[in-house]
Structure 1
Amino acid sequence: MRLHGKVALITGAGTGIGAATARRFAAEGARVFLTGRRRALLERVAEEVEKASDGTAGGGPPAAFAADMGDTRQARAAVAACLERFGRLDVLVANAGGHGGEAVADTGDASWQEALHANLNTCFVTCREALPSLIDAGGAIVVVSSIAGLAAAPAISGYVTTKHALIGLTRSIARDYGPAGVRANCLCPGWVVTPMADAEMDVLAERDGITRDDAYSLVTKDVPLRRPATPEEIAAICLFLACPESAIMTGAVVVADGGATAVDLPTLPFA
């Protein structure tokens, strides 16, 4: 019950890491407010959370609010709805994101703007609108970036750029609002088994004539733990960063990638 009595707003809560985080937070006593662009997915997760808690966790029924959190008007309405429903806001998990175009020379203006909106604007606008309430509560922000925020993957320049920018945004919030009692930390997962990653694995599977599971094995063959993460494993780290156990941490970048970024790429031929 590490979040007993706390209210958490989670973006991108309809699938993957966001949905797993909603379930874990509710199990730890939080009241969860789920946001995302697809209402049906949010409502399904809300139903799952409510059935799983059965009133025993103390979190109370979750709320689902469909919104594009990169749009100021919609994000402001979502935060207002959360406050109206629960009366406070203690934790923000800024998890929403998307794909990010092609290599720079191949990225058109529309694709670039889409990457900025999905990955960076959504986090920035949500944090800005939530900060007054988080200051009141002495709350915590968990920004979900990616190891693409630490190193470049091929031909997704918008995604790589915006995921790097999320680290700077997190540090800026930590620097400016730490004196007001707000903590902000950034989580950088590697491959996680989510619908978005499944779609990428399916591209590899079709190209190489293999299964989706084989594709996950292929992309993690040089990762020390030799596997992707589950959404539940990433949700557990979100929980740690949101709860009092990490009270001294702010401005930190936490990497959860099975050891991928510990590998010295030029030495792979010696393995």
Structure 2
Amino acid sequence: MTPRFAGRVALVTGGGTGIGAAAAARLREEGACVYVLGRRAAPLAAVAEATGAIALPADAADPVQVRAALANIAERHGRLDVVVANAGGFGLGAVGDTSDDDWRRACLANLDTAFVTTREALPMLLESRGAIVVVSSIAGLAAGPEAAGYVTVKHALIGLTRSLARDYGRRGVRTNALCPGWVRTEMADDEMRALMALHGLATLDEAYARATRDVPLGRAAEASEIASVIAFLASADAGAMNGAVVVADGGATAVDVPTLAFAA
């Protein structure tokens, strides 16, 4: 079978680590020319070396830098078919503990990166009748403790997805959101280390097991599993999907939380 992305060009923000790196690898495996964009050059270079992707060091929240990156893509390939708006992070702390700087950092890292990148990429995506995948989180569906900035901006990403789907679907650009639960990534490992310290756990495996003990699948996802869903949403196989919010959380949001006290 012909690879689903043969002859296609994709841009992945936050492409140096975690879900972004896995998405780049999967899209490359399926035939795409992939550009990975992020602020840190070294992780991008490592992904480029491992996968054959092309590194674009840039801040996805900076319009000037994003325009320059897109101009680079246009010059080299003349088209753009897929944008994976994956960059994110920051935003921990309850509202009363969140400083103005922390709030702005959460907005910049999660919401501004997706807004700026998709806005600037729209002319090329309209020409190719392309696809956007916005990586939100189950924090965009329900609030976790002491993560006010992260929860707020991940909710906002779903609103951005629906606005893009509404305004540009008739013009051929599909936009869908993906909400992962716990995924084993470098960023999640840092959160697990905090859980280890809180509960005296010895290993990351123990911490992930504790964090997912009420998840029906009983485990965190691997980044490659989330990348598979991204590839599906970006492909023609999802051609009828626009404005959808797809959850890949092992069943976490299917759980009726008030009944957990009755579970054996």
Query: How far apart, CA to CA, are the structure 1 residues paired with 2:153 and 2:230?
Result: 20
TM, length-normalised to structure 2: 0.97
Structure 2 stretches of 5 or more lacking a match? none
**Aligned match for 1:101, one of 92, 95, 104:** 92
Query: How far apart, CA to CA, are the structure 1 residues paired with 2:152 and 2:199?
Result: 28
* Percent identity between the two aligned chains: 62
- Displacement of 1:207 in angstroms is 2.0
SS at match of 1:160: helix
**Aligned match for 2:44, one of 38, 42, 45:** 42
**Aligned match for 1:171, one of 162, 178, 183:** 162
SS at match of 1:184: strand
Runs of 4+ in 1 over 3 A off after TM superposition: none
Name the structure 2 match of 1:58.
none
Contact 1:101–1:112 under 8 Å retained in 2: no
Query: How far apart, CA to CA, are the structure 2 residues paired with 1:64 and 1:46?
Result: 6
SS at match of 1:215: helix
**Aligned match for 1:149, one of 130, 137, 140:** 140
Contact 1:20–1:232 under 8 Å retained in 2: yes
Query: How far apart, CA to CA, are the structure 2 residues paired with 1:102 and 1:82?
Result: 38
- Displacement of 1:80 in angstroms is 1.1
**Aligned match for 2:187, one of 176, 196, 200:** 196
**Aligned match for 2:243, one of 247, 251, 271:** 251
**Residue type of the partner of 2:82?**
V
Name the structure 1 match of 2:70.
79
**Residue type of the partner of 1:228?**
A
Structure 1 stretches of 5 or more lacking a match? 51-61
1:66 lines up with 2:57 in the alignment: yes
TM, length-normalised to structure 1: 0.95
**Residue type of the partner of 2:30?**
E
Question: What whole-Å deviation, never above 9, does each CA across 1:222-263 have from its counterpart, x for those lacking one?
Answer: 000000000000000000000000000000000000000000
Q: How does 1:218-229 map to 2 (within 5 A)?
A: 218-229=210-221
SS at match of 1:227: coil
SS at match of 1:97: coil
Name the structure 2 match of 1:55.
none
**Residue type of the partner of 2:21?**
A
SS at match of 1:78: helix
CA RMSD of aligned residues (A): 0.7
SS at match of 1:35: strand
- Count of residues in correspondence between the two structures: 260
- Displacement of 1:101 in angstroms is 3.3
**Residue type of the partner of 1:31?**
C
Name the structure 2 match of 1:20.
22
Name the structure 1 match of 2:228.
236
Question: What whole-Å deviation, never above 9, does each CA across 1:184-226 have from its counterpart, x for those lacking one?
Answer: 0000000000000000001111222211110000000000000
**Residue type of the partner of 1:268?**
L
